[in-house]
């Protein structure tokens, strides 16, 4: 019974008194920001792996917004607060998944492209966009790309994780 | 009234050879380290790792 309550189409959801966090495993690219930043809440070694009582709500929202995909999204339990979400709340479900708050159209924008500069890491771009590099010219539909910012990837222009080996810090 | 045709043209992500990443169009730029959120129409993101104006290009790659 409890298990069914925690399901939604495509994943699971978790709540505390303030917010609900949606977990959609198929969308995860294992950027690992969630558990590196907040193991008290996102612990892959525990079941359930998300415990929204492990940290303050503000901090949980901050870390969910770091997720470069929509594997983790969130909303306020108070539906009135889900309208007019500011643009820095990039993983609020209004950005991509308004159906989860029962809205037909996003309150923020219509599937906006998000460009995320990850901390000491790549730039991650998500959405519908045209992507030109070398002699390639591609239309990306609901695409996601992760591009090198440290200059040391061996798979340019894409990130291959080298930034961590060289200790890249963009100051 | 200006029309919105330009806005509907979408987002172009362009990797400039031996240069920065050029992004134009309607997009949300979020910098998690500097806690920046903006909707610029055009940006050049550093790809060499040496800019003094991160995350933006400052032409350090030419030095």
Domain boundaries, chain A: 2-101, 114-165
The tens-digit pLDDT sequence of chain A (171 residues) is 455 678 888 899 999 999 999 999 998 988 889 999 999 999 999 999 999 999 999 999 999 999 999 899 999 999 999 988 898 999 998 886 666 656 555 444 567 899 999 999 999 999 999 999 999 999 999 899 999 999 999 999 999 999 999 999 988
B57 and chain A in contact, CB less than 8 A: no
Flag whether the pTM goes above 0.90: no
B27 touches chain A (CB under 8 A): yes
Query: How many whole angstroms separate alpha carbon A7 and alpha carbon A29?
Result: 21
Question: What Å distances lie between residue A39 and A48, A57, A60, A153, B38, CA to CA?
Answer: 13, 14, 11, 28, 29
* Residue B38: strand pairing partners: B29
Cβ within 8 Å, pair A87-B46: no
pLDDT for the residue numbered B45:
98
Set of chain A residues whose Cβ sits within 8 Å of the Cβ of B23: 115, 125
Cβ within 8 Å, pair A168-B49: yes
Domain ranges for chain B, please list them. 5-62
Separation of alpha carbons A22 and A63, rounded Å: 13
CB contact, 8 Å: B32 with chain A? Answer: yes
CB–CB of B47 and A147 under 8 A?
yes
Integer Cα distance of A114 and A68 in angstroms: 9
């Amino acid at each position: 019974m409890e298990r069914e309550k925690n399901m939604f189409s495509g994943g699971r959801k978790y709540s505390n008194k303030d917010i609900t966090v949606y977990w959609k495993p198929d969308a995860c690219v294992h950027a690992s920001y969630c558990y590196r930043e907040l193991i008290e809440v996102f612990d892959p070694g525990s079941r359930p792996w998300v415990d929204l009582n492990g940290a303050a709500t503000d901090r949980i929202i901050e870390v969910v917004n770091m997720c470069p995909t929509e594997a983790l999204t969130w909303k306020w339990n108070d539906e009135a607060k889900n309208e007019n979400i500011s643009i820095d709340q990039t993983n609020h479900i209004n950005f991509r998944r308004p159906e989860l708050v029962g809205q037909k159209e996003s309150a923020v924008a219509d599937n906006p492209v998000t460009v995320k500069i990850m901390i000491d890491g790549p730039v991650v771009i998500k959405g519908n966009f045209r992507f030109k590099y070398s002699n390639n010219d591609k239309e990306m539909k609901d695409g996601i790309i992760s591009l090198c910012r440290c200059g040391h990837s061996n798979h340019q222009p894409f990130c291959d994780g080298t930034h961590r080996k060289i200790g890249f810090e963009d100051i | 009234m200006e029309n919105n045709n330009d806005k509907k043209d979408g987002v172009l992500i362009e990797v400039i050879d031996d240069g920065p990443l050029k992004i134009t169009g309607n997009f949300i730029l979020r910098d998690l380290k500097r806690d920046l959120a903006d909707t610029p129409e055009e940006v050049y993101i550093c790809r060499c790792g040496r800019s003094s104006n991160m995350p933006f290009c400052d032409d350090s790659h030419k030095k």
